[in-house]
């Protein structure tokens, strides 16, 4: 186990009919900017619940934060924060709205000249404007971590950012929100959470026995509840487990003391930037190829995954490891998630080279748990996924 530090101060308020607790979580003295996305909160009743809970609060609104939250849009919200002297942010949405809110939390108190630097210079935020969240789409885990990914529409680039000042003060998780989520978005959420766990687990073998088992617990639970919620999103117990799995998959706990990979996300982000493919689907495209390409270093962990998560107990390490990759792919397929790039875009020739070049240009010369995957390796992985 590697040395680690862990602190996660976000208060989770979990369960049925908990959105009303907003009324007491945000002090009445704050001036709130309510942030949301494309307007689904008007259809599913969440907007009404939020407004009712905050009817005695001083609140203005900013809607229209797009999936893959764009810097250009967020800068308009920042203007309002400054001109209206906002003191508290409330994200009502999924990962995109919450990530966008984290950028605003950082930018609102940023002392430098240009908040763009927070992204390009990887400036860590120690103190941000306080914010809370009401999660409407379980998937990214952003509701209980301090990281965010922001997109610059102009250059099709994604930038990570974060810092200990960017944990939500609270996050309200009412599993009833999944009632109105369309099946393809539910499938995306399951795939996203599943891959988050894989990125922190599927490395060379370590002796972090407990972290391994926690990761396997989340994977097993996602596999168990996925068909239940896909069939019936009103199955409250399944929805609850799904929602809590998504949070636990990326709240920092399972990554502590272990090596992590994250090459799938790094490559997947490029597919979203280039073709607008849903984030979760880019992960399902890249993961199988990544594991097949890096089979030698990962085969022991892949075999453990096959054995413990899918119950494959016979065969050599290699056979089990391969069966594990196949089962993972079959799981994505069971969610109607395609796993080949050619199933998403018609003309993809040159994609691999293009992504490799972008990595070279940025100086990203070593990805993966060993930091040894070169742009040429990335090119081969992407080609394998055609």
Q: Which residues bind a copy of itself (CB under 8 A)?
A: 1-16, 18, 175, 207-210, 213-214, 216-218, 220-221, 224-225, 237-238, 240-241, 244-245, 248, 256-257
- Nearer to a copy of itself by C-beta: 107 or 193? 193
Other beta carbons within 10 angstroms of residue 244's beta carbon come to 18
Phi, psi of 227 (to 5 degrees): -65, -30
**Min separation Cβ 260 and a copy of itself, Å:** 16
Convert 163-200 into a string of H (helix), E (strand) and C (coil). CHHHCCCEEEECHHHHHHCCHHHHHHHHHHHHHHHHHH
- Nearer to a copy of itself by C-beta: 160 or 257? 257
Cα(321)–Cα(308) distance, rounded to whole angstroms? Answer: 12
**Min separation Cβ 223 and a copy of itself, Å:** 10
**Min separation Cβ 159 and a copy of itself, Å:** 27
- Nearer to a copy of itself by C-beta: 24 or 155? 24
Cα(141)–Cα(197) distance, rounded to whole angstroms? Answer: 11
CB 220 within 8 A of CB 309: yes
- Nearer to a copy of itself by C-beta: 48 or 224? 224
**Min separation Cβ 381 and a copy of itself, Å:** 31
**Min separation Cβ 325 and a copy of itself, Å:** 22
Report residue 225 as tokens: 């509840």
Q: Decide: helix, strand or coil at residue 231.
A: helix
Task: State the pairing for strand pair 58-62/31-35.
Answer: parallel
Phi, psi of 83 (to 5 degrees): -70, -30
**Min separation Cβ 244 and a copy of itself, Å:** 5
Burial letters 49-66, b for 16+ CB under 10 A, else e: bbeebbeebebeebbebb
**Min separation Cβ 207 and a copy of itself, Å:** 4
- Nearer to a copy of itself by C-beta: 221 or 385? 221
- Nearer to a copy of itself by C-beta: 18 or 101? 18
User: What Rg value do the Cα atoms of the chain yield, rounded?
Assistant: 20
- Nearer to a copy of itself by C-beta: 240 or 339? 240
């Amino acid at each position: 186990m590697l040395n680690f530090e862990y602190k996660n101060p976000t208060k989770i308020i979990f369960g049925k009919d908990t959105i009303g607790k907003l009324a007491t979580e945000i002090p009445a003295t704050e001036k709130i900017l309510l942030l949301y996305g494309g307007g689904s909160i008007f259809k599913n009743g969440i907007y009404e619940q939020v407004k009712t809970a905050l009817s005695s609060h001083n609140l203005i609104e900013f809607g229209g934060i797009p999936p893959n939250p764009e810097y250009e849009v967020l800068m308009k919200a920042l203007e309002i924060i400054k001109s209206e002297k906002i003191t508290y942010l409330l994200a009502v949405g999924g990962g995109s709205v919450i990530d966008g809110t984290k950028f605003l939390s950082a930018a609102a108190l940023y002392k430098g000249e240009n908040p763009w630097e927070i992204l390009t210079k990887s400036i860590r935020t120690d103190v941000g404007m306080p914010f809370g969240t009401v999660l409407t789409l379980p998937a990214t885990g952003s509701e209980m971590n301090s990281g965010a990914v922001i997109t610059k529409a102009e250059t099709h680039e994604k930038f990570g950012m974060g810092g200990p000042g960017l944990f939500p003060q609270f996050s309200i998780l009412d599993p009833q929100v999944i009632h109105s989520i369309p099946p393809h978005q539910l499938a995306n959420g399951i795939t996203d959470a599943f891959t988050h766990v894989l990125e922190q687990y599927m490395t060379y073998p370590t002796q972090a026995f407990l972290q391994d088992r926690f990761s396997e617990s989340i994977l097993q639970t996602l596999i168990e509840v996925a068909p239940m919620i896909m069939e019936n999103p009103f199955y409250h117990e399944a929805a609850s487990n799904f929602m809590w799995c998504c949070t636990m998959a990326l709240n920092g706990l399972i990554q502590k003391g272990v090596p992590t990979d994250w090459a799938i996300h790094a490559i997947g982000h490029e597919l979203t930037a280039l073709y607008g493919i849903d984030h979760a689907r880019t992960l399902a495209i890249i993961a199988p190829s990544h594991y097949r390409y890096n089979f030698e270093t990962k085969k022991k962990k892949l075999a453990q995954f096959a054995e413990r998560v899918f119950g494959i107990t016979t065969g050599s390490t290699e056979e089990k490891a391969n069966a594990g990759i196949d089962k993972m792919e079959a799981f994505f397929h069971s969610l109607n998630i395609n796993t080949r790039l050619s199933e998403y875009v018609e003309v993809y020739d040159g994609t691999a080279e293009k992504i490799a070049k972008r990595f070279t240009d940025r100086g990203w010369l070593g990805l993966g748990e060993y930091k040894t995957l070169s742009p040429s390796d990335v090119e081969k992985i992407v080609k394998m996924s055609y």
